[in-house]
Amino acid sequence: MIKAGVLGSPISHSLSPILHRAVYAELGLAASYEAIEVRAGGLKNFLDSLDNSWTGFSLTMPLKEEVLKLASIINPIAQNIRSANTLYRDADGWSATSTDITGFKEALAANSIATVDSVLVIGAGATARAVVAACDLITKEITVMNRNPARITAISACATKAKLDFITWGQTPLISQVDLVVNTTPKLVADELAIMLSAKPRGTLFEVLYEPWPTALLARWRTLGSNSIDGLELLIHQGIDQIEIFTGENLDRASTSKLMRKAAMKVLA
């Protein structure tokens, strides 16, 4: 029996239960997966309250960093980016890892992007660190548009190969010049950047948010006629990796991603 869920706050908008349940049903597994509100600072008390029937959890903000203080084992990838989006039970207790990096790379591959010359990452939080670590393997130059200078040190450790630069918030010319733009900021934060866009960007926008649907930045990007990847892609592909961890199954990524997108679109439409 798989007993899992997604933790975070706010969590009511999460599509993860719909996606996970669709796959478990397709696999014919006895499984439950629910969205559970856990606020910042509340993860330890929540985990302490659980019995041994729980398999694992997907983690979203604000718990991706908090979990690193609580897990018995932390995967080196999660350790490096100081963020974990997956918590699962094993013989030694709770293990934390991140499927955001592989999920991001698989989402790019599904959209026929293997390598690019330049990337702009909007934001510098936990998801941005995973994106920088993933892009470090596929590009020569990464620029981070950052509102909080205190985050520079942590995100700098996520790039060891590509040249990493930082620009202040609102410096929009670069958005239209790079090969790939990735928005990792919270809901509504990048709306002001969408308003500033006037010319057609030459690159692809990867919007990691799916709420609201579509975001103002994604809608503006499409209106200007440029290529884009929507917020379901990362959710789907990091979710596939989580389901493999929770179930021990090896999934066919192409067919599973189609199944998950179809389930999500029934809600978003």
Name residue, tokens 């909007």. 122
pLDDT at residue 172, rounded to an integer: 81
Closest CA to 206 of 240, 252, 237: 237
State what percent of residues in the chain have pLDDT above 90. Answer: 95
Name the band, by pLDDT with cuts 50, 70 and 90, for residue 7.
Answer: very high
Give 188: exposed, middle or buried? Use CB within 10 Å, 0-12, 13-18, 19+. Answer: exposed
Q: Please give the mean pLDDT across all residues of the chain.
A: 96
Tokens 């030459």: give the residue.
202
Q: What confidence category does residue 170 fall into, taking pLDDT thresholds of 50, 70 and 90?
A: confident
Q: b/e for 129-147, b at 16 or more Cβ within 10 A?
A: bbbbbbbbebbebbbbbbe
**pLDDT classification of 171: cutoffs 50, 70, 90:** confident
Q: What is the DSSP string of 23-52?
A: HHHHHT--EEEEEEE--TT-HHHHHHT--T
Distance between CA atoms of 224 and 242, rounded to whole angstroms? Answer: 35
Across residues 125-153, what is the average pLDDT? 96
According to DSSP, the β-strands at 73-74 and 93-97 are parallel
Check whether 123 has a pLDDT greater than 90. Answer: yes
Per-residue pLDDT band at 87 (split at 50, 70, 90):
very high
Give the integer Cα–Cα distance in Å for 175 and 182: 10
Average pLDDT score over residue span 8-17: 96
In whole angstroms, give the CA distance from residue 230 to residue 73: 33
Domains of the chain, start order = 2-98+233-268 (3.40.50.10860), 102-230 (3.40.50.720)
pLDDT at 91 over 90: no
- Please name every residue paired with 164 in a beta bridge, in sequence order, or none if there are none: 142
- 225-269: pLDDT as tens digits: 999 999 999 999 999 999 999 999 999 999 999 999 999 999 998
Residue 32 neighbours by CB distance under 10 Å: 16
Give the model's pLDDT for residue 44. 98
Burial 151-160 (b: 16+ CB within 10 A, else e): beebbeebbe
List, in order, residues 6 or more apart from 112 with CB less than 8 Å away: none
Whether 58 shows a pLDDT value over 90: the answer reads: yes
Nearest to residue 231, comparing CAs of 209, 264, 203, 214?
209
pLDDT for 175-217, tens place per residue? 999 999 999 999 999 999 999 998 899 999 999 999 999 999 9
Read off the pLDDT band of 154 (50, 70, 90): very high
Which pLDDT band holds residue 62 (cuts at 50, 70, 90)?
very high
Q: Is the pLDDT of residue 92 over 90?
A: no
